[in-house]
């Protein structure tokens, strides 16, 4: 593979002792498994190389996210999943245990937050937490805006503007968060990639130094910047959000770039 701007080609790679792996656009697009993804995980399993699926998707619980992979033919364990919903719950449990929260998001996000001892409310919340909500409407956005303008702290599970499905790209949480930012002039605390909050938790789960870990993903603004900002090497796969041409034009480029995970040797 020929890559401009000094990006290493396939075959030029270090051997990493652990992996952080994105889901949407890297393992699958919507309900369609990406070619080479199952084989990549099988090779990691065969070599007993540990990995954590690090996803900004906050619509599913850990078990639900794992079940999707299992149903697609991936040989994985639920504990390998770490979602932005889990990171949000951990962050709030540590910084504001027992806090009241108004949630825009899926029932699974609410379940994850409640399981951490947080109290979900519809009025006068300490925090407004926003994740991707398939049933978003004006009423929910209005209620959140009023709370934020009255002093509730604004939390966004992730900043993804869009994500790939089997039919094409659709709006992500970041696109909807921007509505509240416009209405309140308040920027949220972002928990998911590319912020360090979720990265540090995932690296700790691997129990490896950062220089022995590789971050794998398709979205430059989340996956790749997570590694660049956090001191972890990165592998961009051209199967999702950010195209090869866009990556090649970046000032700060990933450590590696490939078209398909079949090109990557784990040993």
Q: Is the pLDDT of residue 10 over 80?
A: no
Q: How far apart are the first and last CA of the chain?
A: 19
Distance CA 116, CA 171 (A): 28
pTM summary value: 0.88
Round to whole Å and give the CA distance between 193 and 199.
Answer: 7
pLDDT value at residue 173: 95
In the predicted model, is pLDDT for residue 8 greater than 80?
Answer: no
Q: Which residues are catalytic?
A: 22, 24
pLDDT at 14 over 90: no
CA distance 220 to 230: 14
Structure confidence at residue 101 (pLDDT): 98
Question: Strand 28-29 vs strand 32-33: parallel, antiparallel, or unpaired?
Answer: antiparallel
Question: Of all residues in the chain, what percent carry a pLDDT higher than 70?
Answer: 95
155-172 tens-digit pLDDT:
999 998 988 888 898 999
Task: Evaluate if residue 3 carries a pLDDT over 50.
Answer: no
Q: Is the dihedral of CA 74, 108, 82, 79 positive or negative?
A: negative
- Over residues 115-127, the pLDDT tens digits come to 999 999 999 999 9
pLDDT, position 24: 92
Confidence at residue 13, expressed as pLDDT on a 0 to 100 scale = 61
Question: In Å, what is the CA distance from 192 to each residue of 64, 74, 139, 165, 264?
Answer: 18, 24, 25, 20, 26
pLDDT (average), residues 39-58: 96
The pLDDT, as a whole number, for residue 12 is 53
The pLDDT-based confidence of 256 (bands split at 50, 70, 90) is very high
pLDDT class of 1 with cuts at 50, 70, 90: very low
Phi, psi values for residue 255, rounded to 5°: -65, -40
The pLDDT tens digits for 179-230 are 999 999 999 999 999 988 899 989 999 999 999 999 999 999 999 999 999 9
Whether cis (ω within 30° of 0) applies to the bond prior to 194 is: yes
pLDDT of residue 7: 56
**Under 8 Å between Cβ of 132 and 59:** yes
Q: Give backbone dihedrals phi and psi of 88, rounded to 5 degrees, phi first.
A: -65, -45
Q: Could you give the domains of the chain?
A: 18-84+194-263 (3.40.50.1000), 97-190 (3.40.50.1000)
Q: What percent of the chain has pLDDT over 90?
A: 88
């Amino acid at each position: 593979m020929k890559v401009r701007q000094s990006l290493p080609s396939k075959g030029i790679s270090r051997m990493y002792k652990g992996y952080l792996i994105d889901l949407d656009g890297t393992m699958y697009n919507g309900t369609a498994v990406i070619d080479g993804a199952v084989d990549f995980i099988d090779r990691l399993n065969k070599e007993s190389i540990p990995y954590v699926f690090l996803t900004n998707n906050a619509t599913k619980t850990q078990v639900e996210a794992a079940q999707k992979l299992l149903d697609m033919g991936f040989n994985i364990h639920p504990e390998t999943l770490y979602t932005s919903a889990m990171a949000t719950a951990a962050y709030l449990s540590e910084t504001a245990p027992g806090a009241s929260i108004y949630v825009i998001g899926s029932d699974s996000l609410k379940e994850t937050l409640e399981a951490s001892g947080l109290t979900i409310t519809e009025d006068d919340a300490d925090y407004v937490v926003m994740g991707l909500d398939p049933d978003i409407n004006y009423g929910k956005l209005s209620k959140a805006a009023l709370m934020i303008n009255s002093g509730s702290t604004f939390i966004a599970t992730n900043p993804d503007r869009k994500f790939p499905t089997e039919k094409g790209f659709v709006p992500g949480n970041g696109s909807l968060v921007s509505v509240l930012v416009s209405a309140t002039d308040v920027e949220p605390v972002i928990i998911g990639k590319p912020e360090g909050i979720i990265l540090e938790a995932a690296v700790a789960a691997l129990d490896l130094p950062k220089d022995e870990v590789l971050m794998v993903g398709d979205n430059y603004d989340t996956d790749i910047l997570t590694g660049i900002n956090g001191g972890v090497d990165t592998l961009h796969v051209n199967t999702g959000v950010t195209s090869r041409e866009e990556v090649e034009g970046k000032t700060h480029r990933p450590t590696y770039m490939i078209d398909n995970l079949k090109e990557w040797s784990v040993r």
